[in-house]
Structure 1
Amino acid sequence: MSPNLIGALFMMGAMAAFTLNDTMTKTTGGEVPLFQLLFLRGLISISLILVLWGRLGPMHVRLSRRDWKLVGIRSASEVAASFFFVTALFNMPLANLSAILQSLPLTVTLGAALFYREAVGWKRMSAILVGFMGVMLIVKPGTEGFNIWSIYALVAVFFVTVRDLSTRRLSGDVPSMTVTLAAVLSVTLFSGVAQLATPWAPVSGAHWTAIAAAAVFVLMGYYFSVQTMRIGEVSFIAPFRYTGLIWALILGWFVFGDWPLPSTLAGAGIVAATGLFTLYRERKLSRR
């Protein structure tokens, strides 16, 4: 497979993992305080990284000053994105939140074109725009549904864009697991300090199960998202982020009983079609 196809698979894997993490987190229903939840999830993720040490590739801290700076920017962006995203997650439907995050292919692709001078052909940009129109068909934006939590989601979009663009600039010899560990440590340490300001809530067995499952999925999402930004072209890989919305619709239906409207299903079909079209274009160019 070409680097673009591998990157697309990593992107789809990351979107599935992150959406499963979101679902597990949302099932706690806000009964576990935000920072306590992030702290516990982070501790479990760190434990998994230690168990998997060396099995998912090398992991060391012998990085250049430039790479440490980029890892620092990426980790700080991860902390901010986690706070704004999870806060919005507890206050709005999963599918609506995921739909707002589907603006990321546009922001990341445009950022790569502006800051890194990556070429973005009109066909690829058209596929991204068509996919975004499918997202809007699902969201059906209006003044009634747009509130402070939607703004939180947009702020999360900004920080995820910064995270992905900084990942793109890392040197090739920086292990992906090192970047993943830095992200998990940053979110866990920040949450551990922040949760001291609120009373510690008891955690039921069901909530422990949900948090543990979320830790597994978020670790997978972190790792896949790092790999995604280091393989292939952003303009090709970006549309596959829309697959996260498909996962959100399916899980919202099965877990929370949110039955999609016909317009929602039509929008999801458009989103899927843009990814398939981009995949077709890449295979055609690879054969040439």
Structure 2
Amino acid sequence: MSQTTSAILKSSNLSAAALMVVAGLAFAGVNVALQWAGMIGGLSSTSIAFWQYFLALIFALPLIWRHGLGAMRTGRPVLHIARVVLSAGGVQLWIMALAHVPLWQAIALSMTSPFFVLAGASLFLRERVSLTRIGATIFGFIGALIIIAPWSEQFTLHALLPIAAAALWAGASLITKELTKSERPESIALYLLLLLTPVNLALYLGSGFAWPPSDGWMILLVAGVLTAAAQYALTRAYAVADASYLQPFEDLKLPLNIILGWVVFGFAPDAGFWPGAAMIVLGSLYVMGREGTSGRRTAKA
């Protein structure tokens, strides 16, 4: 591998890592906004889901203005539909889980997705999954286990719902990576938002359509903006780096969500959270550092 190629790969990986952090921050903001809308605003879950993604679609429309109708051109509609089906199923399981599992515990359980992604990336995308990536993911997952404490009396079968959601979202992530081989990031982000809207609308109508109260619109607007930003950053990250490389950075969503929820709501997890969160962060940083070191060694060879 030439020095120029190695430098490009290193730069791409670091850019993707930064995009994953941006997406994680945006998703943390979304979760806090949605929790505010449900707990304080009194909005139903179907109402929140519809307006969240509908408003995100509205805020993403400037991408069409910027890139023209070419942003909607696709040669793989079946993959877009499959991605939306998996995403919608994950959202519904996630909502069901939050009715029984504390948010911070549900987020920790959802971090089992790297195992599904690593397996899928190797089997279906033919990506090389290094021992470094596997080790960092396992290290982060052990940190999640410390937080979850499955040996405690509070652990119930409802905890399987976030794991099921994680499996569906992992499938959606793998499809996202596959789509980036032939589709523009703008198209991938727009199609998700566009196709999720009728699905969420059907669920909204089925539960009884009701307009949000006037004081609920601002938080829904915030959720819509952050959702659009998060989806775009996530798609851009998958466009420039391997799915298996990006997975440890998914672990950052736990400390980001917990810290932001602590600041906004004052919800403080127990003492077991802190060492577990530290392991999650260290696992992600270790992968980024190893990728950079690998790139420098290759450049010198």
Give the TM-score taking structure 1 as reference length.
0.91
| Structure 1 position 146, deviation (Å) | 3.4
Q: Which moved more, 1:25-34 or 1:246-255?
A: 25-34
Kindly provide the CA deviation profile for residues 77-122 of structure 1, in whole angstroms up to 9, marking residues without a partner as x: 1211222223323543221111011112222112101222321222
Q: Give the corresponding residue for 1:22.
A: 31
- 1:94, 1:252 within 8 Å by CA — same for their partners in 2? no
| Mapped contact 2:50–2:200 kept (Cα < 8 A) | yes
Query: Is 1:61 equivalent to 2:39 in the alignment?
Result: no
Q: 1:195 aligns with which of 198, 204, 212?
A: 204
* Cα distance in 1 between the residues matched to 2:12 and 2:228: 23
> 1:73 corresponds to which residue?
82
* CA distance in 1: counterparts of 2:195 and 2:156, whole angstroms: 29
| Residue in structure 1 matching 2:130, options 121, 124, 138 | 121
Measured in 2, the distance between the counterparts of 1:250 and 1:244 equals 10
Taking structure 1 as reference, are residues 128 and 58 closer, same or farther at Cα in structure 2, changes over 3 Å only?
farther
Distance 1:253 1:56, change over 3 A: farther
Is 2:234 aligned against 1:225?
A: yes
* 1:32 to 1:76, Cα distance in 2 relative to 1, 3 A: same
CA contact (8 A) 1:75 1:163 kept: yes
Identity of aligned residues (%): 25
Secondary structure of 2:150's partner?
Answer: coil
Q: Quick one: which amino acid aligns to residue 61 of structure 1?
A: M
CA displacement, residues 157-203 of structure 1 (integer Å, 9 cap, x when unaligned): 11101101111212534121221121112221112122222233452
Name 2:258's counterpart in structure 1.
249
Q: Is the 8 A contact 2:26 2:226 kept in 1?
A: yes
Judge conservation of contact 1:8–1:240 (CA < 8 Å) in 2: yes
* 1:36 aligns to 2:47 (yes or no): yes
1:81, 1:156 within 8 Å by CA — same for their partners in 2? yes
Which residue identity lines up with residue 256 of structure 1 in the other structure? F
Residue type matched to 1:34 in 2? S
- 1:265 and 2:265 equivalent? no
Q: Is the 1:26–1:89 contact (alpha carbons within 8 Å) kept by the matching residues of 2?
A: no
Query: TM-score if structure 2 supplies the norm length?
Result: 0.87
| Residue 101 of structure 1, aligned match among 105, 110, 114 | 110
User: Which SS does the other structure have where 2:193 is aligned?
Assistant: helix
- Offset of 1:269 from its aligned partner? 0.8
1:36 counterpart letter in structure 2: S
Distance 1:47 1:171, change over 3 A: closer
Following TM superposition, where does structure 1 have runs of at least 4 consecutive aligned residues deviating by more than 4 angstroms?
Answer: 54-59
- Residue 271 of structure 1, CA deviation: 0.9
Structure 1 unaligned spans of 5+: none
Distance 1:33 1:2 in 2: 43
Paired with 1:242 and 1:283, the residues of 2 have a C-alpha distance of 19
Q: Matches of 1:245 and 1:39 in 2, distance apart?
A: 25
Secondary structure at 1:230 match in 2: helix
Number of residue-to-residue matches in the alignment:
286
